[in-house]
Structure 1
Amino acid sequence: MARGTTIKKTISPIKILSIDVGGSHVKAVVLNSEGQLLQQYQKITTPSPANPASLIKAIKTLTKDFPPYDYISVGFPGYVKNGVIKTAPNLDNTSWKNFNLSKKLGTALGKPAKVVNDADMQGLGVVAGKGLEMVLTLGTGFGSALLLDGNLLPHLEMAHHPFTKHNTYDDYIGEKALENLGDKKWNKRLKKVLAVLKTVFNYDTLYIGGGNARKINFKLNKNIKIVTNEDGIKGGARLWATPNEQSPVKVPAKKVNHQN
C-alpha cells in the first residue's frame, strides 16, 4: 500500500423491522435509519386468542417475505419494562404477564429486538422534538405517551386510571364505548377528555392517532394534530437511536410532516 493512502470503511445502511401490535391488527414495515419506508406498509389480523405463541406466529407469517433487516422494533399495547410485558389488557393479560417479548421475538426472527408501549413508539415517530408533547392513541383501548424535547418520559398507564366514578379512560372512550354509544356521544366524551388533559398536562402539542382518530368530528385546537398509523410506525427507527457514538442507528432531527 502506498504511503499516505487512506482506507475508507463502507458502512452498510441500517434497516429496521418496525411492528405495531394492535387489538385488531398487527402492522409492520421495514424502515431505513431515517424512518423512511422501504416497502409498502402491511398488516394482518391480530390472532385470537392473542397469546405469545399465536402473536409471534402471526408476526412470522406477516414478515416472511419482507426485505432483509438488521434490528426489530415493536410497539405493544400494554405496560412494558425492559422488553418484558407486564400487562396486555386488550390481548390476554394472563398469558402475557412477565413474558420477555424482546428476547423471544429476537430469537424467533434471528435479530436483536426492542419492545416498548405502542403509544411510546408512535410518539417517537410523530413528535417534533420541541417542548412537552403528548400522544394519544384511540383504538381498541386508549394509549398515551409523553415526550420532552423528543425524549420519552416514564410511561403512565393512563388507560386504567379512573376518569369518572365508574369508568377508566379505556371504559370511557375505548372501542367498546364507541360501539355502544355511537359517533356523536363518543365525540362528546372525547371533548371532555381533551379538556381535562389540556388542563392537567399543559402540553405544547398533542398528537392523536389510532384507528378511531378518523371518527373525530369536531374542530381541534391549533396545537392538536391527527397522525396516522404509518406515521407512528416510523418510531421504530428512533427506538434504536441513542445519544452516544456507538448507536447502530443515526436518526436526523427532522421529523415527518403531520396531517392537520
Structure 2
Amino acid sequence: MTPSLGFGIDIGGSGVKGAPVDLTTGALTAERLRLPTPSPSKPQPVAETVAELVAAFDLPADLPLGLTFPAPIKHNVVGFIANLHKSWKGVDVDELFTEAIGRDVVAVNDADAAGVAEAAFGAARGVPGVVIVTTLGTGIGSALLVDGTLVPNTELGHLEIDGHDAERRASSGVREAEDLSWREWADRLQRFYETVEMLFSPDLLVVGGGVSRKHEKFLPLLRTKAPIVPAELRNSAGIVGAAYLAAQTDG
C-alpha cells in the first residue's frame, strides 16, 4: 500500500529545497525550506546540508524520503556531473545520503523526478503513450515516460544537433547569456524539439523549468507535431516527484 505522505528534497546548483508532500494530490503540506548549496559543492558538505534540512522538519521515522540530483543515476551511482562539483562522479548517492541523514533515501535524476510529478499530478496526468518532459534551465533536462512509466536517465539535452550539444545552444541559460530575443531562442528550441520528435514520435511534449512561467512568449512560436504545453507543477515538481518515487520504491 502506497503511503499518503512523503518528503522530497531537490538539490540544485544554488539551493537545496525540501518539503513534505501529500501523495494523493501532489500538494506540499508545509512551506518548503531552502538552504544554500555549499560552495564548493562536494559530496560531504552537500550531504550535511541535506541532513540539516531534513532535521528542520518533524518527520515520522518511516516516512518515504526522496531526493533529486542534477545528474544521471544508474544503480544509485552518479555517472557524470555537470552542475555540481566533479568529485561526485562515481559516488553512491543513496548510500551517502542515507548515512548522513540516518534514514533510507531514494535518489533520482532531477528531470526524471519532474517528469514523474507531471505524469502523476500535472500536465501529463492520464496521458497515454509517449510523453517527453523537458526542463529548460542552466541546461536542458528530460524525462521520457511510456504510458506513465519512467524510462530513466535520457539526457536529451546532450543530443548533438547541427554539431552542437543541444543544451549549449538552446537552454534558458544560453538565452540569458547571449541575450537572445524570444524569437531567436524559439528558433533554436525548434531544432531541438523537431529532432526529439523525429527520434521518439511523442504524443505530448511538456515544457518545465523556471522559464515556463513565461511560456506564452515562446511556446506559440514552436511548430511541433505533438501538442506542446507548459508544466503545471513549476518549482515544486522536483520535490513532488522525488517524494512520489520514494513512496513507490518503498511500496
**TM-score (structure 2 length as normaliser):** 0.82
Sequence identity (%)? 32
**TM-score (structure 1 length as normaliser):** 0.80
1:232 shift after superposition: 4.0
Aligned residue number for residue 122 of structure 2 = none
Which residue identity is paired with 1:150? G
Aligned residue number for residue 202 of structure 1 = 201
Aligned residue number for residue 88 of structure 2 = 96
More off after superposition, 50-59 vs 231-240: 231-240
Aligned partners of 1:66 and 1:102: how far apart in 2? 20
1:213 shift after superposition: 2.7
Aligned partners of 1:33 and 1:176: how far apart in 2? 32
Q: C-alpha offsets along residues 148-168 of structure 1, whole Å, 9 cap, x if unaligned?
A: 111111422223231221x20
Which residue identity is paired with 2:178? L
Aligned residue number for residue 154 of structure 2 = 156
Aligned residue number for residue 225 of structure 1 = 229
Aligned partners of 1:150 and 1:56: how far apart in 2? 31
Aligned runs of 1:209-248 on 2, under 5 Å?
Answer: 209-216=208-215, 217-218=217-218, 219=220, 223-227=227-231, 228-242=234-248, 248=250
1:135 shift after superposition: 0.8
Counterpart check, 1:57 vs 2:30: no
Which residue identity is paired with 1:27? K
More off after superposition, 115-124 vs 50-59: 50-59
Q: C-alpha offsets along residues 119-168 of structure 1, whole Å, 9 cap, x if unaligned?
A: 11111100124211111011121101101111111422223231221x20
Unaligned runs of 5+ in 1: 1-10, 250-260
2:105–2:246 contact (8 Å) kept in structure 1: no
1:86 shift after superposition: 1.5
Counterpart check, 1:45 vs 2:36: yes
Equivalent pairs, count:
233
Aligned partners of 2:197 and 2:133: how far apart in 1? 12
CA separation of 1:51/1:125 partners in 2, compared to 1, >3 Å: closer, same or farther?
Answer: same
CA separation of 1:29/1:81 partners in 2, compared to 1, >3 Å: closer, same or farther?
Answer: same
Aligned residue number for residue 3 of structure 1 = none
CA separation of 1:63/1:183 partners in 2, compared to 1, >3 Å: closer, same or farther?
Answer: farther
Q: Which has the larger radius of gyration?
A: 1
More helix by share: 2
1:197 shift after superposition: 2.0
Aligned residue number for residue 103 of structure 2 = 111
> Which of 69, 75, 86 lines up with 2:79 in the alignment?
86
- Which structure has more RCO (C-alpha within 8 Å, separation ≥ 6)? 2
Tell me the C-alpha RMSD between the 2 structures: 2.4
User: Aligned with 1:212: secondary structure?
Assistant: helix
2:67–2:105 contact (8 Å) kept in structure 1: yes
2:66–2:107 contact (8 Å) kept in structure 1: yes
2:108–2:242 contact (8 Å) kept in structure 1: no
Which residue identity is paired with 1:18? G
Aligned partners of 2:240 and 2:32: how far apart in 1? 11
Aligned partners of 1:145 and 1:107: how far apart in 2? 28
1:84–1:99 contact (8 Å) kept in structure 2: yes
Aligned partners of 2:12 and 2:55: how far apart in 1? 19
User: Aligned with 1:99: secondary structure?
Assistant: coil
Counterpart check, 1:17 vs 2:17: no
Moved over 6 A (4+): none
1:207 shift after superposition: 1.3
Aligned partners of 1:116 and 1:232: how far apart in 2? 10
